[in-house]
Chains A and B, each alone.
Chain A
């Protein structure tokens, strides 16, 4: 009996003790950081800055597919595969609001915009509260601010390229995209109407102009100068924004900050951007020549992801890449001695030897950087703006065009007399851009800002500016969950 009592008592004790691990009710994750600690050290702040870049570098956006969409919609490429996962519907102009490209790109860009807004909210809140003043300097605060604002501007600009009518259609009066400018972390604020294209451009320029003064002049290493935003990056991007708005005086003003009045064309302040003397060298490791103003970096352990990389879409060894349309102007106008044609790779498709853009030659592993902005573009923007603003062709404009052209094709230099009028020069600029930036996502942008049809290729007909599929539809999920959204 005694033993029983003892046993029962023991059990009863364990019974009562059983509920005594209440602190286990609040475990703390060991691999994820709580909100409150995200701004505790400088490394974490810098980590968040790099996190914004990592976000825009997503495979759907600047890490790969975005440029592909802008190229394959035009006339220069044919697909090796009809796989819908590798953008066949975009090439075919068969996209719907539920197509993966349409939903995926929108999701990716807005995820980056929200990541930037969250960082801005946290950075500003912690700076005003004083927590950050002991961790970073005011210069650094301004620098991080400028990087965030510029990335946001790039994101909104990219959205407008596919989901809205060109600015130049009607001075931006068409519906644009919703302007999300505050951090979204809860279930509120789903409904937001589209701002007009003009309003979005205003915000883009406001962000860029706010960013420029506080931006860092130049980083200490070539890698940082290529992969992080500095003052000249912002200026270069402004030339792109202004030329898309046909605001040529502004292009000239901005370009003049980083392009001197005469050759040699080297940026006079900040990081000394200049053309690389060899076209091929741009595409080789370490990918950080001064010509590369802003590129997305990759390493063996940090690639673009399955079916996302530039190599996947341009390398002959890829079964889903796109080869060049040999009847399109970008190919026929190339002289055999042009370095850009020499750069091409070849591969056999359907028993025929076809040409592929050879800028991303590393297939295993796929670590070639993806360029977002190159100095060559600034020169061509400047040249075009000079002529379209003045109405006449000037030697300065010809020199700028020649700088880019003769870098790859020394025998192809133009002279002033080659151009009967401004229109002829514009055509030459368009051709040069077509050739120079093949595969870098410029063609659609250049055609759209000039209100030109997207030429056809093979059995795919041309798309006129008045066709509904000149631009992409708004994704289905946005239509469903944003009640103020209007479809294109």
Chain B
């Protein structure tokens, strides 16, 4: 014992002596490319926590222990260097740029990690890639950029939120949309408008403010978000102050033109008359024919309705950013203005935004930070019929463009609008009442706007009492105010009966999030790097909205709410709140950066769940092996050719609460009126046993580099088993349960696939570079259980009126479901339907003798057949989920020119072309030119268009879902084509460091066999049960833009 004590004391003294002996080393760090000093480079003594940063001149002074051997130099964008001290007191270093970006920093949940240390499946997209795109919001640009992430722009309506799915459909009744976190705060996403002027909440985050976007895909990356992680997480980091002695000022501006492409070619007036009269004769030769109508000048009317609906829109956008840093403070200030007209008349979006991100090092222990983003967005759109739920709106512009007859005009010959009550007038044609509206007055007179004011702010304080230990508190708020205003004229259209309508809705969703974390990273024995994170998070969300409406204007002069109206509507609104409380922790360890282990656990409570079920525990773990760092590999032939080989595996259990409202588990009564008497009615059958929706996620990945990291490959296999789904279990309607459904935890579904991300630096010579980014993802989705025996299938309905999809056990979710058809019978011109028994049945609309049942008869002549219907003869007609999808980006630089070609693609899915059914409808509706040219006329004609019989809306598919209208949706889309030229080395007097001018084509072209306007479509938005439907939507927009980036 005494000996030990003596030894110990000696040790201590030696240690103290050693400590007392420090050596001072100084030097300068410059960039090898241009010799300029690099400030902010981290200089550390390897194996210790001793470190300094270079100052503004790139110089540093560091006191190292006498026994220190190596100094490490690290700086973002440059390859790290280790320099042996070997007695030197002046060490100057030239850092080499990391062209292949292998040592980037990746933002992960509640922190950052070096790219090579990341064991989870995370895709990174730089903010620069998206800031110049002519879109309204960053999520419209992510398609094809990250493996496993499928993004669909539903149509060309401005600010219509895209459909985002990370690794497949992860829910049935709840949402599959990922969690979006901005600077550590989960933010509101989705469409917040209450009318047809779509307002994507994510558009409030100006693309020029975004530094990077990380998409977390597997359990190990997302598990720390616990109950909200099942659909993946998108982390947005806004820009920080630039490092360097001089403040950086930039201006980015562009202007552009946008047009719709692939509009339908419909019949002109002559073709229309000829075809419809043929159809009328085929039904009943005594019917009065359609004729040409003369306009005021005596010329026959030939209206191209699309000209009154679509336009070439003009857009321009400007952003100025100022960023810099002093010794203690870094700041980023940006101001932006964007004014966009869409491809549809009267569709506009204007955004004004400002942001200030500040970080201040109070002293060497304490840092404060504040990010403030303020946005005002104004959306205006007519009723496009293209947002979810609008597919069958009588006022829907998408359908009006192709359905209205060309032989009538928007104006009568006396100059007034051509209307008949609420509908368009038929100008004397024997069409009956057309029912559809005249788009010209409703575009001219109606007004739909929504205005968003958003404050996104985060306040941070970090204390680092000892090196490596961070105590951090983050308080974030996301406050929105959305005011939606609607005015509809009483002259014609939807509000004709009410003699005008005006309505305002004011919605104020607010959220605060408070996160406190302790993070300690430390190294033991030089090789074992450990990190511990523990945290508490609270989130409170409140949603308050109220609305008022008025009808029956006293004079058409009044077009605003504040005017004089006879009848005040009942008004309404909503009020809900929910609260989240979580405890979480993460532990990661790596041994010499060879063997990695990470585990995270989160315990969440959510107020929307029933009492006793509020808490849930989630977590994930991962293992990674950096094979290349193994001695035996590093020295082998394999190690020379293949770098950075990493094998990883992860598993986790995460949850989804996006489908649970604030009061879902309660039994509730709502109020109303009966005439003038107040009422109480049972409105919600809650479920007191409602729990989280949860899924198990497995991931195995392998990444490596070839040719010295010129080729970087990242392969992942994943399997997501959503096995505790919340299903809104449909009930038999005869039970009369409100909503005909009850939420229950039951059912299971899985998604599995393979992701490949390939980055190749094909050419890297000084004057010519060519880089390729390719990603490829496969997806197989299957529903493995619903709620048998009670529920074995779920239906998906488009806009509440057309049952288009069915979800069955053993099949992918949301399959198109209908009857099979096999073209048209050449002998009779009838559409051939296949009934459940497999027999061919023909349909003749004009055959009503002796009874209506005579319309259906067997093709083989064996007599009348029972009517074919989806209910009795339907079957799955195709999956709407792509089997393979991804993107291919090629970036070129040639001297001072740069070019980008970006492609996205998806294969293996089907789309239900409901618009095509409308284009072939034989009521008075206009049809495509294909119908005019190829309709069956006499026996022997081989065609896909049956004999035209007036009022036949069945053979074309308006009244029945049929396989004729189910088409393959395979496509390759040329998403971006950009060409730019940079002017550098300007005279100093100008004050401009560089200018880049560029031109860009967005949504240039789509290569596909799909006959609709674009196979990238979704009439039902983010719906899980009814995806892949094209019903009366407007097409996509192609945008040409010209822009300039100036760095001062």
Task: State the A residues within 8 Å of B (CB).
Answer: 3-5, 7-8, 11-12, 14-15, 18-19, 21-22, 24-27, 29-35, 38, 43-44, 46-48, 50-55, 57, 79-86, 89, 93-94, 96-98, 100, 103, 106-107, 110-115, 117-118, 177-178, 180, 184-187, 189-192, 223, 227, 297-302, 311-312, 317-320, 349-351, 363-366, 459-461, 463-464, 467-469, 475-483, 485
Contact = CB atoms under 8 A, between A and B. Distances in A.
Contacts of B853: 467-469
A54 B536 CA distance: 48
B516 A187 contact: no
Contacts of A480: 730, 793, 795
Interface stretch (B11-19, B200-208, B369-377, B572-580): B572-580
B124 interface: no
A467 B866 CA distance: 12
Given A319-B434, A363-B497, 18 more contacts: A11-B516, A27-B578, A29-B662, A34-B668, A51-B680, A82-B435, A89-B959, A96-B867, A107-B736, A187-B787, A190-B790, A300-B567, A319-B421, A319-B435, A461-B850, A463-B852, A476-B803, A477-B795
Interface in B609-663: 611, 614, 662-663
B680 A48 contact: yes
A459 B744 contact: no
A24 B579 contact: yes
A335 B666 CA distance: 60
A17 B870 CA distance: 59
B551 A365 contact: yes
B497 A481 contact: no
B181 interface: no
A364 B498 contact: yes
B538 A114 contact: no
Interface in B419-446: 420-423, 426, 428, 430-435
Interface stretch (B184-192, B669-677, B882-890, B900-908): B669-677
A180 B680 contact: no
Given A48-B679, A51-B674, A481 B848 contact: no
A129 B607 CA distance: 32
A15 B729 contact: no
B1 interface: no
A98 B871 contact: yes
Nearest to A48: B680
Contact of B284 (A114, A184, A459): A459
Contacts of B942: none
Nearest to B662: A27
B684 interface: yes
B579 A25 contact: yes
A30 to B, nearest CB: 5
13 contacts: A4-B465, A31-B575, A33-B668, A44-B680, A47-B678, A51-B682, A185-B737, A297-B675, A350-B431, A364-B497, A366-B497, A478-B732, A481-B732
Contact of A30 (B575, B684, B789, B850): B575
A18 to B, nearest CB: 4
Residue picked from B421, B576, B730, B953, most chain A C-beta under 10 Å: B421
Contacts of B569: 301
Contacts of A185: 667, 682, 685, 737
A476 B573 CA distance: 34
A156 to B, nearest CB: 11
B729 A187 contact: yes
Contacts of B420: 319
A47 B366 CA distance: 61
B461 interface: yes
A93 to B, nearest CB: 6
B392 interface: yes
A299 B569 CA distance: 10
B399 to A, nearest CB: 12
Given A29-B575, A365-B567, A54 B734 contact: no
A312 B421 CA distance: 12
B5 interface: no
Nearest to B744: A187
B666 A312 contact: no
Contacts of B673: 50, 54, 299, 301-302
A180 B735 contact: yes
Given A15-B518, A106-B733, A320-B435, A227 B461 contact: no
Contacts of B720: none
B418 to A, nearest CB: 13
Interface string B866-902: 0101110000000000000000000000000000000
Interface of B: 283-284, 365-366, 392, 394, 420-423, 426, 428, 430-435, 461, 463, 465, 471, 473, 490, 496-499, 514, 516, 518, 536-538, 540, 551-552, 567-570, 573-579, 581, 583, 605-607, 611, 614, 662-663, 666-685, 687, 729-738, 740, 742, 744, 787, 789-791, 793, 795, 801, 803, 848-853, 867, 869-871, 923-924, 951, 953, 958-959
Contact of A14 (B431, B473, B675, B730): B473
Contact of A81 (B435, B567, B670, B684): B435
A165 B519 CA distance: 74
B679 A301 contact: no
Contact of B681 (A24, A115, A467): A115
Contacts of A31: 573-575, 670
Given A27-B577, A29-B666, A318-B421, A481 B791 contact: yes
Given A461-B851, A477-B740, A27 B579 contact: yes
B732 A35 contact: no
B678 A479 contact: no
A15 B733 contact: no
A3 to B, nearest CB: 8
A47 to B, nearest CB: 4
Contacts of B869: 96-98
B663 A29 contact: yes
B733 A478 contact: yes
B568 to A, nearest CB: 7
Contact of A186 (B365, B497, B577, B742): B742
Residue picked from A79, A98, A312, most chain B C-beta under 10 Å: A98
Given A29-B662, A364-B497, A478-B732, A47 B680 contact: yes
A478 B732 CA distance: 5
9 closest A-B pairs by CB: A114-B736, A297-B675, A51-B681, A47-B680, A482-B732, A80-B433, A51-B679, A24-B579, A110-B736
Contacts of B605: 25
A307 B702 CA distance: 59
Contacts of B536: 15, 18-19
Contacts of A478: 732-734
Contacts of A482: 732, 734
Contacts of A477: 730, 732-733, 740, 795
A38 B607 contact: no
A77 to B, nearest CB: 14
Contacts of A366: 497
Given A81-B434, A187-B790, A477-B740, A93 B577 contact: no
Contacts of A318: 421-422, 497
A11 B737 contact: no
A100 B801 CA distance: 7
B676 A190 contact: no
Residue picked from A46, A103, A365, A460, most chain B C-beta under 10 Å: A365
B158 to A, nearest CB: 27
A319 B433 contact: yes
Residue picked from B422, B514, B667, most chain A C-beta under 10 Å: B667
A7 B366 contact: yes
A180 B733 CA distance: 11
Nearest to B518: A15
A50 B677 contact: yes
A325 B953 CA distance: 24
Nearest to B732: A482
Nearest to A99: B959
A24 B540 contact: yes
A461 B849 contact: yes
